[in-house]
Structure formats: C-alpha cells, structure tokens
Amino acid sequence: MLIRISEASQTGEARRKAVAFAEELGMEESRQGTVALATTEMATNLVKHAGKGHILVQRLQQNGNFGLRVVSADQGPGIADISKALEDGNSTAGTMGNGLGAIRRLSDSFDLYSIPDAGTVISAEFWQKKRVKPASGPLQFAVVSEPIQGEDECGDGWGVRTMADASIVMVVDGLGHGILAAEAAREAERILAAAKTNSLHDILHDTHDALKKTRGAAFAVAKINSDKGLISFVGVGNISASIVMPGSSRGMASYNGIVGQTMERVQEFTYPWTVNSVLVMHSDGLATKWNLDNYPGIWNKPPSMIAAVLHRDFYRGRDDATVLVAKAA
Ligand SMILES: [Mn+2]
C-alpha cells in the first residue's frame, strides 16, 4: 500500500493504513499505538524535510511470525548528519520532539539510507512476536508492488517459493492494468504457490495454460541455487531481469510473446550466482536505466532497501509497478 504525502493533512491517512494493517495482524492496542506514532513521525518528516514523498506499508511474514514494514521515501535534501539525527530527542522540525531516534526506538528493526541531494529512505518493521529466529536460508527477498494511482487492484504480481535445493522468484505483469490485468497476475501467483516442481519450464507452461482464460501477461521466473552457484531464468514479454554486483550488470533476456496468449518455444538460460550477486526483476512500470553503482553503500543494504530506492527513483508513474530484489542473506 502506497500513500503519497505532500501536505500535513495526508499524514493521517498513512497512520490509519498502517494501524489497520497492525490491527489485521492481531497486534495489541499498545503495539498499534506504537505503529501509529512511528508512522505519523515518518509521514510528518516527509512534509517537513523533503516537502513530499510516499509511505509504503507492507505485510511481512517470516517463520510463522507476521509483521509490517513502514517505509518512507523522498527525493529531498537527505540527512547531512545521520548519527546526530538519530540521537533520541533530536527532532529538527519539532513536531513530537523525538524524530528519527524515536522511530528507531519504537520499531523492532530500523534502517535508513540517505544520500545528500538524492533523498532518504527509512524502513521500520513491527513484528507480532519479537523475532524468534532470524530468516533461514541463504537468500533474502523483498518486493515493492503497487498499482497505478487510482487503482485498488494491482495488475502486476510476484511470488517467492523456497524449495528443497533452490528458491524460485517470479514477476508477472498482466496486460494493461486494472481488474482484468489483476486477474492474470493473481492466476500466475496461484500457479507458482501451488507448483509441485522446481522446473522453470513446467512452471512457465502451467502458467501459460492457466492464463489462457485471461488477457495474458508478461512473465518471468528465476531459480537460484546458492549451493551450486547458479541462477536459471526464463521470461516471456517485458519483465526486466538483471544480475548485478558492484561494477557489473548482466541482463537476462526474455522471449517475445504474451503468456496465456502467444508463446513460442522458449529456452531456459543459466548464469553464475555468487554471494555478491543481486537479482533485480521488475515490470515495465519501472524504467530500466538504473545503476546501483550510483548509490554509495547500497550494496550493503537489505533487499527491501534496494527495492524501495529503485521504486522511488525509477517508477514511471503511469502503470502498475513491481520490483523484486534477491541477494545473499
Ligand atoms: Mn506494465
């Protein structure tokens, strides 16, 4: 859920959406209050320090624990002195008198990425149970997937499946946007969730068959086997997929076609995968001209931060948009 913020009156909407998620998760009222405070501070900061930006509220799930992530993203002046800004009680703008330090203290997990003149992204997570155990497995994943402004249904979709020896990630973009695009996207998500195989060929063809009753979609699916150091990929239509690492980027080519409508014989490709590799897959709601080397320090950030930064800076603004990032944990 994305809430655009450009004036103080919109901070209430961000707070209400975040609290609604917390309530849905069954969080106690006091925890809901914590989420409310932190979200209000984040949204207020957008207006005060950057003039405008957006708040993302995302559901999280990990080892049977549920939570939510509130992200604020702006393209404002950035934070000149991050450690000073994080001192509790040091709010430059005053509002509640506690600022960033309070957001960090209120949340179970906090992260911040700020570049002078390029903007700030802040991420705060709130979990139902204090995390019992950290994420298992060799990989971390994160996604930003948001409908075009004015639509409730997202015509893009995504999926992550962790199987015995590999993880499978998928991005789908139903043709156009709105409810008919969403129908195709949900169907592709359903097929991946139900897949009994980790064969990309089988998943692609099952998706193709299932989407015949829909208007069709661009679709791409990748399988990462960290032990073997390999990533396999197959894509049809306009989903961008790249393996990036400091100083290098390798695009993985998709075939022309529309899954569910017209699909020629397609071939799966395999590439090397290292602990430094980062997989970025996105729909055409994002421009493709990004380069993570332009973001100092981003390589050390979790996938959720990378996805939020790419979405902030490369969203084209006239379509649904989805960006999925995977990297070594
Ligand atoms: Mn699209």
268: three-class secondary structure by DSSP? coil
The answer to pTM > 0.75 is yes
Alpha helices in 115-225 (DSSP H): 179-194, 200-210
The whole-number pLDDT of residue 95 equals: 47
Ligand 1 centroid – CA 286 distance (Å): 9
> In the chain, which ranges are E strands?
2-5, 53-62, 65-74, 109-115, 119-127, 139-146, 156-162, 167-174, 217-225, 230-236, 240-245, 248-251, 257-258, 262-263, 269-272, 278-282, 321-328
Q: What is the pLDDT of residues 10-27, one digit of tens each?
A: 999 999 999 999 999 999
Q: Quickly tell me which residue has 């930003």 as its tokens.
A: 144
Token readout for 251 is 């695009």
C-alpha 32 to ligand 1 mean position (Å): 35
Span 225-253, average pLDDT = 97
The CA distance from 53 to 10, in Å, is 11
Separation of CA 181 and ligand 1 centre (Å)? 9
262: pLDDT confidence band, cut at 50, 70 and 90?
Answer: very high
Q: Domain coordinates of the chain in residue numbers?
A: 2-127, 139-328
CA 68 – ligand 1 centroid, Å: 26
> What's the 33 CA to ligand 1 centre distance in angstroms?
37
Tokens found for residue 107: 């949340």
Q: Ligand 1 mean position to 308 CA, how many Å?
A: 18
How many angstroms does the Cα of residue 218 sit away from the middle of ligand 1? Answer: 8
Gap between the Cα atoms of 164 and 186, Å rounded: 25
pLDDT digits over 79-138, tens only?
888 888 887 655 555 444 458 998 999 999 999 999 999 999 999 999 988 766 666 788
- What is the distance in A from the centroid of ligand 1 to the CA of 158? 13
Give the residue from 151, 150, 78 showing the smallest Cα distance to 116. Answer: 78
Tell me the CA–centroid distance for residue 309 and ligand 1, in Å. Answer: 19
Q: What is the reported pLDDT for 108?
A: 94
CATH fold label, 2-127? Heat Shock Protein 90 (3.30.565)
Does 3.30.420.40 match the CATH number of domain 139-328?
no
Query: Residue 293, Cα to own-chain centre: how many angstroms?
Result: 19
Distance from residue 141's CA to the centre of ligand 1 (Å): 21
Cβ pair 298, 305 in contact under 8 A: yes
Side chain identity at residue 87, one-letter code = E
What is the rounded average pLDDT for all residues in the chain?
Answer: 93
For ligand 1, the distance from its centroid to the CA atom of residue 39, given in whole angstroms, is 30
